Structure 1
Amino acid sequence: MNEEKQIIAGSPMAWLLAARPKTLAGAAVPVMIGLSMAFADGGVAAFRLAPAILCVLFAFIMQIDANFINDYFDFIRGNDDETRLGPRRACAQGWISAKSMLRAIAITTVLACCVGMPLVMYGGVGMIAIGAICVVFCFLYTTSLSYKGLGDILVLVFFGIVPVCAIYYIQLGTITTEVFLASLACGFVIDTLLLINNYRDIDNDSRAGKRTLVVRIGAVGGRLAYLASGAVAVLIGLSYVLYGHVWASCLPVLYMLLHYFAYRRMVRIGKGKALNAVLGLTARNMFVYGVLVSVGFLLDA
């Protein structure tokens, strides 16, 4: 916290903290899974490097854009006050002015569109619609939908189904049942990050009228949802063996051990800022899951 108070307004460090680099794992995991599956099914000859790089850049820029949007709109709503339990936000701390953040949102949104546009050459005009939907819901999540308890559904769609399936389609021009199942599993794993975040903020969100899933089902339900989300992902992954991908089916079981240990720590802590440690463990576990699944598919290639 002392280091945060010493941040110079408008400095590179202020912008780095606003970009929330630790959250980029959430953007990286579906990209890794989609590309590894495409490589496993299509081989070296079918793999296209240029669209792969564009997908990575688009995912990272959109994640940063979402973080800027969240920082700005939560600030103007007054949600990031002194009662906040999570990491401090740039606008609320005065590191970046609201005007500068709004300008940054415009820049990152345009940049994401520019990076994503060439994907039309590889995936067809449908990529324009997918990109536009991603941008629209990037704004709707923070400004509206997260307050209605729809955040978890959006994570399943935009951190699971859409990126994994779109990346695979761009590489091989098709989508298989296994790819769809993998995209669902990916979404459930990434949703654990949202669940622990909302579990920590259950009291603040309730006071602010933010009806997240955890607020709706309560603290106990929130903990169980966190555990179940990771477990469902692993159970879905066991089906990969039916498609000849044994390693991809088995390796993610190791993730479940890490996820369970994080859950136990979540239960022991109960509430308060100490849950930020579980948030960190969850982000790590999420990335480990992505690596395990990706390595599994590559070993099965």
Structure 2
Amino acid sequence: MATVAQWIEGARPRTLPNAIAPVLAGTGAATAMGEFDWVRASLAMVVSLALIIGVNYANDYSDGVRGTDDQRVGPLRLVGSGAARPPEVLAAAVGALAFAAVAGLALVVLTRQWWLLAVGAACIAGAWFYTGGKRPYGYAGFGELAVFVFFGPVAVLGTTYVQAGTVSWAAVVCSVAVGSFSAAVLLANNLRDIPTDTEAGKRTLAVALGDRGTRRLYLTLLALPFLLTLILGWWFPPALFAVVAAIVAAGPARTVSSGATGRDLIAVLRDTGLTMLLWSVVVAAALAFG
């Protein structure tokens, strides 16, 4: 039976900035329009966190039963390591996704925007079919695109919309930036796993691009938000302070550029997520108070 510490590690805490950052940025954009609502923002945060924990457990379960995680280099995989039985991890995934659905339903009731139910259903389906089902899209190279969409435009603009009833150009810029960061986090993970994914027949975007192409794309995704910061700063000058996140980004950029492989890339996930989180905190504050 897995310990509490192993269940926490299995939830992949390093990915939580992917869930927190878009809600912060979206709330900052809503506040800039004078429409901050702490209840709706809190529910959006619960939905986002529950979704990412759910997709992480679902990924652990699906990859584990397929045998993809048998030779995994990165953090603990509950099923692949034998720490937990597949039904237990499946139950954890379903529980987290169900919790996200309940919080999302509460948000829909508050806003009375019933069409958001379809968005929520798409998010849950995206979480499951990333590595679940007979033809998981994560095995076909579409994982980064899905992460960009769901934890970028969907999460950021959704957070803004449920509070303000509309979106702004600032929210759109933030959504692209956060989506780019999120995709970079997954790409770094898949860069590390190119050898084992290739052996397991998992054709991720990194496998398709190859080592060199993946490193170039990662650096591009990491740089894009800082270019967007300059655009955002043209109308909201305090947002320019977000370039401070480049200090954190320098570490993973150097590691990826150096050709590091295997375990040496594990810290890249953490530091890319921290870069995204710092950027979002500063931008949210700039939009809210600038």
* TM-score range normalised by the length of the shorter chain: over 0.9
> CA separation in 2, counterparts of 1:39 and 1:296?
10
Alignment counterpart, residue 204 of structure 2, candidates 212, 233, 256: 212
Amino acid at match of 1:261: G
Q: Matched residue of 2:23: which SS?
A: helix
Q: Deviations over 1:175-219 (max 9, x none)?
A: 122211210111001111111111111111122222222222221
1:38 and 1:175 map into 2 onto residues whose CA distance is: 8
Q: Measure, in 1, the Cα distance between the counterparts of 2:258 and 2:233.
A: 36
Query: Are 1:155 and 1:190, in contact at CA under 8 Å, matched by a contact in 2?
Result: yes
Name the counterpart of 1:145: 137
Counterpart position of 1:100: 88
How much does 1:255 deviate?
2.0
Aligned position for 2:238: 247
Within-5 A mapping of 1:263-282: 263-268=253-258, 270-282=260-272
Question: May I ask how many residue pairs the two structures share in their alignment?
Answer: 286
Q: Distance in 1 between matches of 2:201 and 2:79?
A: 21
Structure 2 gaps of 5+ residues are none
Q: Deviations over 1:67-114 (max 9, x none)?
A: 110110000010111x21111211122222111112222222222111
Given that residues 18 and 67 in structure 1 are in contact (C-alpha distance below 8 angstroms), is that contact kept between their aligned partners in structure 2?
yes
Report the alpha carbon displacement of residue 228 of structure 1 after superposing the two structures with TM.
0.7
Kindly, what percent of the aligned residue pairs are identical? 33
Secondary structure, aligned partner of 1:99: helix
Q: Which amino acid aligns with 2:232?
A: Y
Corresponding residue for residue 195 of structure 2: 203
Task: Say yes or no: does 1:41 pair with 2:33.
Answer: yes
Deviation at 1:158, TM superposition (A): 0.3
**Deviation by residue 1:29-50 (Cα, 9 ceiling, x = unmatched):** 00100011111221xxx32121
Query: Please, which moves more after superposition, 115-124 or 195-204?
Result: 115-124
Letter in 1 for 2:86: A
Provide the C-alpha distance between the structure 2 equivalents of 1:36 and 1:212, rounded to a whole number of angstroms. Answer: 33
Match of 2:180 in 1: 188
CA distance in 2: counterparts of 1:71 and 1:145, whole angstroms: 15
For 1:272, the aligned partner's letter is: G
Aligned to 1:5: none
- Counterpart pick for 1:117 among 92, 105, 123: 105
SS of residue paired to 1:293: helix
| Cα drift, residue 123 of structure 1 | 5.3
Q: Work out whether residues 68 and 200 of structure 2, in 8 Å CA contact, stay in contact via their aligned partners in 1.
A: yes
Of 153, 156, 164, the residue aligned with 1:161 is: 153
Please give the alpha-carbon distance, in whole angstroms, between the structure 2 residues aligned to 1:289 and 1:206.
33
| Counterpart for residue 76 of structure 1 | 65
* Paired residues of 2:256 and 2:265 also in contact (CA < 8 A): yes
Q: How far apart are residue 58 of structure 1 and its match?
A: 0.8
Q: 198-207 vs 9-18, which deviates more?
A: 9-18
Q: Please tell me the residue identity of whatever aligns with 2:92.
A: A
User: 3-state SS of the aligned residue for 2:131?
Assistant: helix
Q: Is residue 2:123 matched to residue 1:134?
A: yes
Once structures 1 and 2 are overlaid, which stretch shifts more, 151-160 or 207-216? 207-216
After TM superposition, the score normalised by the length of structure 2 is: 0.93
CA distance in 2, matches of 1:180, 1:203: 36
How many angstroms does 1:266 deviate by? 2.3
TM-score, normalised to structure 1's length? 0.90
What is the CA–CA distance in structure 2 between the aligned matches of 1:59 and 1:160, rounded to whole Å? 11
How well do the aligned residues superpose, as a CA RMSD in angstroms?
Answer: 1.6
Aligned partner letter, 1:141 = Y
Query: For 1:252, what is the secondary structure of its paired residue?
Result: helix
* Distance in 2 of aligned mates of 1:178 and 1:282: 22
Aligned counterpart in structure 2 of residue 170 of structure 1, from 157, 162, 167: 162
Q: Secondary structure at the match of 2:31?
A: helix
Tell me which residue corresponds to 1:223.
Answer: 215
Structure 2: distance between partners of 1:171 and 1:95: 41
Query: 2: CA distance between counterparts of 1:168 and 1:277?
Result: 31
